[in-house]
Chains A and B, each alone.
Chain A
Amino acid sequence: MQQGRFRSRRWFLGFGAAWSAALVACRGKSDPPASAEPRALGAAVSPYGSRSKYEKTARFFNQNTKVPLEEASSRTPLHDTYGIITPSSLHFERHHSGVPEIDPAQHTLVIHGLVDRPLEFSVDELKRLPSVSRIHFLECSGNSGGEWRGGSTESDVQRIHGLTSCSEWTGVPVATLLHECGVHADATWVLAEGADAGKHDRSIPMKKIMGDALVVYGQNGEPLRPEQGYPLRLLLPGWEGNANVKWLRRLKVMNQPAMSREETSKYTDLMPDGTARQFTFDLEAKSIITRPSGGDRLVAGTFCELTGIAWTGRGTIVSVELTTDGGATWEKAHLQTPVLPIAHTRFRFPWKWDGKETIIASRCTDDTGYTQPPLPELIKVRGMNSQYHNNGIQAWKVASDGTITNGNRA
């Protein structure tokens, strides 16, 4: 692993054999592959690209479960995605009655209720309205939920935290659409409903709807993927994924929440005293080291950059601190630009493991002054049964042989 040392400026740029070797170091392998550049002509141009056949990274979902796969979730491979954008094919999924197949020519969005002029928009009509593109993360509030009982036996970042992804979304501000309809003075909530088999629905406060909410038709430069709501979805930046209704068919302006199943019996946070918190919409600041992380094996004395993502539903990440000594000391990580509001923020930290058993972890602070808390602090206040909204610090345990496992239970 001699290549893992600083040798030239190329190393900093992340090109070449040195960089490949550093990545291999994180995986604990050693021999760089022999050069095998093809000499024959390559493939011709093609209408729609796909990745190299050598790349196998995929979403993870548990197939041995009593939960029907139409209402299951699949998780983003955070260890093997880079930068801040999640490829659309790897965006996490959580459905409640399967992915509907919708012909966009047949689909409409109806806005009605407490408005002067109920309106129905075709997908093409929506695309003619003034649109915006914004990069935002989307996280299921059940993400990392398995850790609420004081740490789980799950050992890799995809299985523990893979219900967060980040995309560029393009759509029309809901405020623009409601302005077209003429909202009544007594309107306080908007019910958003999908066209999926179970007609998933959530009530959203008017303030959010008139703020940064979007009706989205684009994801990472192309139409939404079916799994993310094709052809239309609601996007509520920074708010729990479940409220960002996919396959959006209807917005009903109301003066009360509907108290749907998904906002009463589900997505409510049970406290130790038996009460439950309702309408806990925004996602608090959170960060995780994604690489190296659970499942990796370090080699003592070799360089291995620590990298990961941080995000907050309340604004912008201002700092990420890392500990490599079990929390005794914390040092600031480098935040890679762009650092965008309500988006995954990539952090990096140079490191060489000394071969001793330790705990590594990250914690972030956002521009409201809020700092990501240790998981035990959250449990102290919310107990072990709140199920949703775990943004506690993720500890990774490095054993003396270099293997990394979930350190939350340690």
Chain B
Amino acid sequence: MATAHKGFTLTIVVCAGLWGASARSASLSTQGSGQVPAPTFGIGHTPSPDRLKQIDIDVTPDGAGLLPGSGTAAKGKDVFTRRCETCHGPTGTEGPQETLAGGKGSLATAKPLKTVGSYWPYATTLWDYINRAMPFDHPSTLTADEVYSATAYVLFLNGIVGDQDVLDQTTLPKIQMPNRNGFVSDPRPDVPLKKK
């Protein structure tokens, strides 16, 4: 019981510290990896390398996280027909679900059409989303090559790559999306207008 009581007291002290000063936590984290404070509670275990590999699936704009493999739009047409067309239509514009192509120049009009070509800022996002979440009813069932090819085909439908261009870990992150510079940071509160 004495041990349990001691642990309880420690808990209270640490909690108070965390609640009282998120700034303190932030300053702790800025001391550099060599001086990171020791754990307080000792709860939790180190995930196995296999577990990390299994779940560490995200891809960033620099291409980190892309799996080995490659694909082209020419190969992607087959993947798209088999796995994507039912929802997105033969050319990604017929629906019934999300329109994937077209909409170029529409964003500043009364009827904007937000598609991969007109709106998405990064090609890596398309690869990541197809890889993690598509097809809608069978996510994570495409091979890496199929993901590259489906990505290439959607970009081809938007006139961003040619049908023989090879997409892989090196070439995909280099694709410049048309709306790459179309995003701004949050200026709110904007209404009522900020007092100057």
Question: Can you spell out 30 A-B residue pairs with CB atoms less than 8 angstroms apart?
Answer: A66-B97, A97-B139, A110-B47, A110-B55, A112-B52, A120-B44, A121-B43, A130-B14, A173-B19, A178-B29, A179-B18, A180-B41, A193-B57, A193-B58, A198-B139, A199-B139, A201-B132, A259-B60, A260-B128, A261-B128, A261-B133, A265-B120, A265-B125, A270-B114, A274-B112, A276-B107, A277-B184, A278-B183, A282-B188, A382-B191
Q: Are B132 and A199 in contact (CB under 8 A)?
A: yes
Shortest distance from the beta carbon of B144 to any chain A beta carbon, whole Å = 16
Is A281 an interface residue when CB atoms closer than 8 A count as contact?
A: yes
Contacts of B132 in A (CB 8 A): 198-199, 201
The 8 closest A-B pairs by CB, nearest first: A274-B108, A182-B36, A198-B133, A274-B107, A119-B44, A120-B47, A261-B129, A183-B29
Contacts of B112 in A (CB 8 A): 270, 274, 385
Interface residues contributed by chain B, number (CB under 8 Å): 70
Query: With contacts defined as CB atoms under 8 Å apart, how many contacts are there between chain A and chain B in the complex?
Result: 209
Bin the interface of chain A by size: 35 or more
Q: Are B58 and A260 in contact (CB under 8 A)?
A: yes
Given A185-B32, A210-B25, A270-B107: A175 and B18 within 8 A (CB)? yes
Complex: A250 Cα to B61 Cα, angstroms: 20
Contacts of B28 in A (CB 8 A): 179
Is A57 an interface residue when CB atoms closer than 8 A count as contact?
A: no
Shortest distance from the beta carbon of B47 to any chain A beta carbon, whole Å = 4
Contacts of B133 in A (CB 8 A): 96-97, 197-200, 261
Most-contacted residue by chain B among A112, A254, A378 (CB, 10 A): A112
Given A270-B112, A377-B192: A276 and B30 within 8 A (CB)? no
Is B46 an interface residue when CB atoms closer than 8 A count as contact?
A: yes
Q: Are B60 and A117 in contact (CB under 8 A)?
A: no
Is A268 an interface residue when CB atoms closer than 8 A count as contact?
A: yes
Q: Which residue of A lies closest to B23 (CB)?
A: A210
Contacts of A46 in B (CB 8 A): none
Q: Are A276 and B182 in contact (CB under 8 A)?
A: yes
Shortest distance from the beta carbon of B174 to any chain A beta carbon, whole Å = 15
A355-410, CB < 8 A from B: 368, 370-371, 373, 377-378, 380-382, 384-385, 389
Q: Are A277 and B186 in contact (CB under 8 A)?
A: yes
Q: Are A276 and B184 in contact (CB under 8 A)?
A: yes
Q: Are A183 and B120 in contact (CB under 8 A)?
A: no
Complex: A129 Cα to B39 Cα, angstroms: 12
Contacts of A53 in B (CB 8 A): none
- Per-residue CB contact flags for chain B residues 179-191 toward chain A (1 = under 8 Å, else 0) read 0001111111111
Complex: A277 Cα to B124 Cα, angstroms: 20
Shortest distance from the beta carbon of A275 to any chain B beta carbon, whole Å = 5
Complex: A347 Cα to B135 Cα, angstroms: 46
Contacts of B51 in A (CB 8 A): 110, 120
Contacts of B18 in A (CB 8 A): 130, 173, 175-176, 179
Most-contacted residue by chain B among A66, A129, A206 (CB, 10 A): A129
Contacts of B129 in A (CB 8 A): 260-261
Option from B22, B30, B39 in Cβ contact (under 8 Å) with A182: B39
A250-282, CB < 8 A from B: 250, 252, 254, 256, 258-261, 264-265, 268, 270-282
Contacts of A93 in B (CB 8 A): none
- Per-residue CB contact flags for chain B residues 124-167 toward chain A (1 = under 8 Å, else 0) read 11101100110010011000000000000000000000000000
Is B80 an interface residue when CB atoms closer than 8 A count as contact?
A: no
Option from B14, B60, B184, B186 in Cβ contact (under 8 Å) with A281: B186
Contacts of B89 in A (CB 8 A): none
Q: Which residue of B lies closest to A68 (CB)?
A: B136
Shortest distance from the beta carbon of A163 to any chain B beta carbon, whole Å = 19
- Per-residue CB contact flags for chain A residues 190-229 toward chain B (1 = under 8 Å, else 0) read 0101000111110000110011100000000000000000
Is B33 an interface residue when CB atoms closer than 8 A count as contact?
A: yes
- Per-residue CB contact flags for chain B residues 86-109 toward chain A (1 = under 8 Å, else 0) read 000000000111000000000110
Q: Are B122 and A180 in contact (CB under 8 A)?
A: no
Given A120-B45, A185-B32, A260-B129: A180 and B39 within 8 A (CB)? yes
Q: Are A66 and B96 in contact (CB under 8 A)?
A: yes
B2-23, CB < 8 A from A: 11, 14-15, 18-19, 22
Option from B22, B59, B62, B119 in Cβ contact (under 8 Å) with A210: B22
